[in-house]
Amino acid sequence: MGSVVVVTGSAGLIGSESVRHFAGLGMDVVGVDNDMRSYFFGADGSTKWNLDRLKKEVGDRYTHHDLDVRDRDGLTALFAKLGRNVGLVIHAAAQPSHDWAAKEPFTDFDVNAVGTLNMLEAARQHCAAAPFIFTSTNKVYGDRPNSLPLIEQETRYELPPDHEWFGGITEDMSIDQTLHSVFGASKVAADVMVQEYGRYFDMPTAVFRGGTLTGPGHSAAELHGFLAYVMRCVMEQRLYHIYGYKGKMVRDAIHSHDLVSAFEAFFRAPRVAEVYNMGGGRASNCSHIEAFQLASEITGLEARTDYVEQNRIGDHQWWISSTARFEEHYPDWKISYDVPAILREMYEANQDVWKPAG
């Protein structure tokens, strides 16, 4: 098995955490990233700062390719050159916003679905034995979670304690016949294809269906990067628009470090065609209202929010992942960050950067 890790979206949140983590284990990392986030989200979303930092920190262990996952020939050539030196593939490149996808559905599908197929096929041709990890999303379940019997509480929605998914939603939830958003549908296509390459070609593939993935490596923009953007708005005294559900919608948040340590667990003991819901679970979750309360406590600043009655199409009212299946397969893994710890770290990491204008 090779000692090279290929990471797509290597300057993004999960990609950059993966680069650091596996370089730290003594592996050589080949990164694929062309900063499409700046095209999706403008200057706020650019990952260039993260790439510059990464190159400095990781040094010679990191080789960067300014390559688009839609470039099938480019990917094929890269994998042909690396060949069986590849010991792990982490495919984290994506168009990540459901609002954005509806504006350019071809771009969204070409990046998310076709880009994933390009990666799978390049891996199958040149390093089929290397574990292939895909960062999917809980949006593959569409708005199905909104049919749960939710109870409105003072600051959040919640499931009844005797409900089978009170501890978190499992992989048994159907992904069919529900409203996904265009983004959710392109990720479903990718998600199912990663499973299929595992089953059909007997490749060690894993789909990680993330909830809110977060950490200090996030390029926080309004349409993507929930907790980072909450903290950024409070620190810069920007106005934050809360869309619908009275701000009581619940998200579980997993720190990029905890997700990447799950990747390492799979890498060390790979399985075929696995699917895991992956998030903060009951250990790390909050509503929008609670996130602002926490951010205000940490910063000592008042949050500036306004409320938009209309919720975002297909938005989850309540999402907490069950990580029970992953923990059953990898009992040594556990969550090390909760929401307050994540927000505190963001505050500390960005004190010199996120300041009020004026």
Single out the residue of 197, 267, 219, 272 nearest to residue 96, CA to CA.
Answer: 219
Is 126 within a domain? yes
Is 355 within a domain? no
Per residue in 140-169, pLDDT (tens digit) is 999 999 999 999 999 999 999 999 999 999
For residue 35 the two structure tokens come to 């900063």
**pLDDT, position 44:** 81
More confident residue, 141 or 221: 141
Output the domain CATH number for residue 285. 3.40.50.720
Provide the domain count of the chain.
1
Q: How far is CA 164 from the centre of its chain?
A: 25
**Residue 258 pLDDT greater than 70, yes or no:** yes
Q: What is the mean pLDDT of the chain?
A: 95
**Residue 8 pLDDT greater than 70, yes or no:** yes
Residue-range definition of the domain harbouring residue 316: 4-349
Is 152 within a domain? yes
Is 97 within a domain? yes
Is 354 within a domain? no
Handedness of CA 113, 115, 119, 121 (dihedral sign): positive
- Please state, in angstroms and rounded to a whole number, the distance separating the CA atoms of residues 97 and 93: 12
Is 79 within a domain? yes
Is 356 within a domain? no
Is 170 within a domain? yes
Show the beta-strand stretches assigned E in the chain: 4-8, 28-32, 62-65, 86-91, 132-137, 151-152, 157-158, 205-210, 212-214, 240-243, 250-255, 274-278, 285-287, 305-308, 318-319
**pLDDT, position 218:** 66
What's the predicted TM-score (pTM) here? 0.95
